[in-house]
Amino acid sequence: MEKKTIHLGISMAGAISAGAYTAGVMDYLLEALENWQKAKDLQQEGKLSGIPKHEIVIDILSGASAGGMTAALTAAAIQTNFDHVSLADVENNAEKLAKNPLYHSWVDLTEENHRDMMSQMLSTEDIENDRQGNPDMEVRSVFNSSFIKTVAERHINSIIKDNAVYRPYFAGDMEVFATLTNLRGIPFEVAFGSSSYTRVHRMKRHFDIAHFRLGIESEYKKDGRIPLNFNDAEGLNKELLIQSAMATGGFPIGLEPRIIKRLGKYIKENKYLNLGNRPDLHTVNAIDEFLTLNVDGGTINNDPFELTQELLDERMGVLPGERKTKASDFESVVLMIDPFPNHSDLPDTNYLPLRAFKFIISQILSAMLGELRMKEEVLKSAYGDEDYTKFLIIPSRSGANPEIENYIACGSLGGFGGFFNKQFREHDFLLGRRNCQQFLRKHFSAPVDADNPILAYGYEGVEDRYKVSVNHRDYFPLLPDIRVKHDEITGKYSIIYVEDFEEVNFKFPEIKLSYLLGLQDDLEKRISSLVSNITNGEAPEREKNENDIVKRLRKKPWHQKLLNTTLYQPLTGLLLWFAKKKVKGIMARKFLDIVIADMDKNELLTDDKKLKK
């Protein structure tokens, strides 16, 4: 049977505010798919000719952290039609921008003319004024992250499927998943024993995914995929999708951890969570609600491309080790979008073992994270022959200073930089679109002489119109990036090729030093609230089991108790008040010093105070 379809899984890495870049890539990719489909439809109607006729079908959207949030937002966005973004729109068409769900969610966020993102993130409302959501005034994160809930609910809740929307390049049963770091853990038991005894070894797995299957039907297929649809205002499991989108983006300590409530069967029956049904998972009840507290999915798996590939293989019936990877026979592709590719950490030939306590803690954390994120099977396969099943889109900016670590503006401050300035997010969204355009033109391709049957079918009779020459070898684009032009006078249609309308470069944004210094007061208020409320929060009552010896040893005489009540406690309170007043200023200045230095290093700072010599 003639093969006509390339199956695609899109995996989006963690990025924090640089999710704006990923959103830009997705916006352009959707635009390219829409226009190619439009051209193919016109060809079917006899109104156009010369259009590649193979198919690309997106089977999986996945991601971690900001990538997982973008996967969830995209799953909702494709239920309706929306216009895509250009540089001209950013400059003078705010109404159009607000209707693009990817731009509105990642660039606009919840920013208003009178209240930017840092004003919101440094406010104390989440601690001091949220009587319903936080009655005990707990400190749950360094920054106020209430905006994440607003963005997720605003977009996903508002979507109702438009039955007139036609997107055959998305599988009807497309899967969507976001990685989670499950702080409760999924409990497992492994039995050891013989005929004479049995012992059980218990452990917990903290890697988790929120795994959905999109479709009109609501039937659950007993495979752990949570049914999802947008058929009406309530939808099916839309609230669970919102919870998952917020949870995967809960950057540890910086942003609030999130609760997910789902039925135990969605864990117990998912072979990617129950390890293929081999261990005993009777500790999770299928019909009960399984409540978990979760932080950023990128903590454990920030680049879930290997799981995306496994799911693609399962959907296509590919057995382990039998995936076709060569240019001549590949049938599936994982496209990874990574705003922060880890290609700069080369092995240190001058390694110095630092054994002092102050150095050890950071080394231990780095080792733990590195091991958690290690992808052994992927690494093994990387040393094989050519592999056309993995493609990567990363930031690239013409004219950029090669000594600057990040080509994206939101990459400063470890990914938090985009929250300081909307122009950073605008730039990165547009850069994502630009990079996706270049990727489709120059990199998302396979050699013509490999004679891949899918591409041979698709480009039959139109080879010379689309092939691209690189290093004296011709390539076919997997996704031809074309636009349809309609002549109003003649009524005829024609094709515009991508090279005819290249997007222009745009200026790298900057932030004023005076703006950063102006954050001092808000920072001090936030720090003061953090310090004042850091001990708030009630844990469940537990039986006190105080040791009698310790109890007698530490028992205080009556006169010491009296002094403590009348003198020490008031004095301690006064000292703490003075200390807090002093500390909040020191901490705010230290934080701003770090921000200013990093912005300057990344060429994002305008010294309007004229402090540089």
pLDDT at 198: 77
| Domain assignment present for 361 | no
| Domain assignment present for 168 | yes
446 - beta bridge partners? Answer: 476
How far lies 566's CA from each of 37, 563, 573, 576, in Å? 80, 5, 12, 17
Task: State whether 455 and 583 are in the same domain.
Answer: no
**The pLDDT of residue 218 is above 90:** no
203 - beta bridge partners? Answer: 188
DSSP 3-state of 263 = strand
CA 357 – CA 373 distance, rounded (Å): 25
pLDDT tens digits for range 95-135? 889 899 999 999 999 999 899 999 999 999 999 999 999 99
Q: For the chain, what is the mean pLDDT?
A: 88
Task: State whether 524 and 433 are in the same domain.
Answer: no
Task: State whether 502 and 525 are in the same domain.
Answer: no
Element (H, E) at 33: helix 19-44
**The pLDDT of residue 545 is above 60:** yes
Task: State whether 219 and 118 are in the same domain.
Answer: yes
**The pLDDT of residue 343 is above 60:** no
Task: State whether 489 and 531 are in the same domain.
Answer: no
| Domain assignment present for 408 | yes
Query: Whose CA is closest to 434, among 86, 162, 16, 96?
Result: 86
| Domain assignment present for 488 | yes
Task: State whether 503 and 601 are in the same domain.
Answer: no
Q: What is the DSSP string of 86-124?
A: -HHHHHH-HHHHHT-HHHIIIIITT-BTTB-HHHHHT-S
DSSP 3-state of 167 = coil
Rg value, the chain, Cα: 27
pLDDT tens digits for range 7-38? 999 999 999 999 999 999 999 999 999 999 99
pLDDT at 237: 97
Q: What is the largest CA-CA distance in the chain?
A: 102
pLDDT band at 203 (very low <50, low <70, confident <90, very high): confident
Residue with tokens 């293989």: 313
pLDDT band at 347 (very low <50, low <70, confident <90, very high): low
**The pLDDT of residue 561 is above 70:** no
| Domain assignment present for 545 | no
On whether the CB atoms of residues 417 and 404 are closer than 8 A, the answer is: no
**The pLDDT of residue 563 is above 60:** no
Task: State whether 571 and 466 are in the same domain.
Answer: no
On whether the CB atoms of residues 398 and 389 are closer than 8 A, the answer is: no
Span 571-597, average pLDDT: 80
| Domain assignment present for 89 | yes
DSSP 3-state of 526 = helix
- Of residues 294 and 345, more confidence is placed in 294
The residue type found at 552 is R
Q: What is the DSSP letter of 289?
A: E
Span 59-81, average pLDDT: 98
| Domain assignment present for 353 | no
CA 356 – CA 17 distance, rounded (Å): 34
How far lies 588's CA from each of 20, 79, 187, 414, 584, in Å? 27, 44, 41, 18, 6
Q: Exposed, middle or buried: residue 583 (CB in 10 Å: 0-12, 13-18, 19+)? A: middle
Q: Exposed, middle or buried: residue 226 (CB in 10 Å: 0-12, 13-18, 19+)? A: buried
Q: Considering the entire predicted model, what is its pTM?
A: 0.91
Query: Whose CA is closest to 40, among 462, 576, 415, 343?
Result: 462
pLDDT tens digits for range 245-265? 999 999 999 999 999 999 999
How far lies 527's CA from each of 537, 583, 597, in Å? 18, 9, 21
Strand pairing report for 468-470 and 198-214 = unpaired
Please state which of the ranges 64-68, 396-400, 486-490 shows the lowest mean pLDDT.
396-400
CATH number at residue 464: 3.40.1090
Residue 319, CA atoms < 13 Å, CB-side half-sphere: 1
**The pLDDT of residue 612 is above 70:** no
CA 384 – CA 377 distance, rounded (Å): 12
How many domains, the chain?
2
DSSP 3-state of 60 = strand
On whether the CB atoms of residues 161 and 79 are closer than 8 A, the answer is: yes
- Of residues 553 and 607, more confidence is placed in 607
Strand pairing report for 390-393 and 332-337 = parallel
CA 104 – CA 98 distance, rounded (Å): 5
pLDDT at 382: 47
On whether the CB atoms of residues 76 and 155 are closer than 8 A, the answer is: yes
Task: State whether 324 and 464 are in the same domain.
Answer: yes
State the Cα angle at 595 between 591 and 598, rounded to 5°: 140
**Tokens linked to 277:** 């049904």
pLDDT at 564: 61
| Domain assignment present for 543 | no
**The pLDDT of residue 609 is above 90:** no
pLDDT band at 383 (very low <50, low <70, confident <90, very high): very low
Residues in the chain: 613
pLDDT band at 368 (very low <50, low <70, confident <90, very high): confident
Q: What share of the chain is helix, strand, coil (3-state, %, to 5)?
A: 40, 20, 40
Task: State whether 493 and 599 are in the same domain.
Answer: no
pLDDT at 572: 59
**The pLDDT of residue 169 is above 60:** yes
pLDDT band at 419 (very low <50, low <70, confident <90, very high): very high
pLDDT tens digits for range 254-297? 999 999 999 999 999 999 998 755 545 566 676 789 999 999 99
Query: Whose CA is closest to 18, among 400, 394, 417?
Result: 417
Print the SS3 string covering 434-456: HHHHHHHHHCCEEEHHHCCHHHH
Task: State whether 266 and 374 are in the same domain.
Answer: yes
pLDDT at 2: 67
**Tokens linked to 389:** 């099943």
Task: State whether 523 and 386 are in the same domain.
Answer: no
DSSP 3-state of 85 = coil
Strands (E), 44-96: 55-63
Share of the chain above pLDDT 70, in %: 87
447 - beta bridge partners? Answer: 475
Structural domain for 594, as ranges: 514-538+552-606
Task: State whether 311 and 434 are in the same domain.
Answer: yes
- Of residues 572 and 481, more confidence is placed in 481
606 - beta bridge partners? Answer: 512
